[in-house]
Amino acid sequence: FISPDILQVDIISTMKLSLASLALLAASASAFTAVTPAGRVSTSLAVAPGETKASEKVVQAFADKPEEDPEFDALVKSNFPGAINNRDLATRVVELLEEKGFDPSNTLLATSLCADELARVLEDEFVSIYGNNFNLGGLSGFPFAGNTGWGAMSAHVPDNGYCLTIHGPHVGITKEGQIG
């Protein structure tokens, strides 16, 4: 048995919710309206200036870092065949991109790495090569920035330049081989 008073309250609540939903929908509809750009403004996100080649910056970035522990490296590769360390990744990426014209003065670094502090090491190493980065991501390396974030990032790409986007999750592995 439903009392007429309860039914009336439910109908009024539903109507308020519906009116509020319609108002929200109408207000947000403009967010999906195509907008013609007024012209691209040249911007900069502290892209690394100077004449130093990225390959030279890789050497500098890893100069004071200890060599990889071969025992731990073997442990990682036994669980993740084909895995490479940060030094090798940075070296390979930079060598390939230098051949294509990417350098620290014309390349914006954009990252979307897992929020864990372990991922900051890789991010910091690439920042030391390419300059500040535009952070697009969050958990699991998924780029949570959405259309607005990608648009904002795109506005910082140097004129006639490039964007290097590095994304991905991380996984921890102990010296005993426990993954998690």
**What does the chain look like in DSSP terms, one character per residue?**
---HHHHHHHHHHHHHHHHHHHHHHHHHHGGGS------PPP--S-B--SS--HHHHHHHHHTTSPPP-HHHHHHHHHHSTT---HHHHHHHHHHHHHHTT--TTTEEEEEEE-SSHHHHHHHHHHHHHHBSEEE-B-GGG-BTTHHHHHHHHHTTSPTT-EEEEEEE----B-TT--B-
- pLDDT of amino acid 26: 55
Per-residue pLDDT band at 40 (split at 50, 70, 90): very low
pTM summary value: 0.69
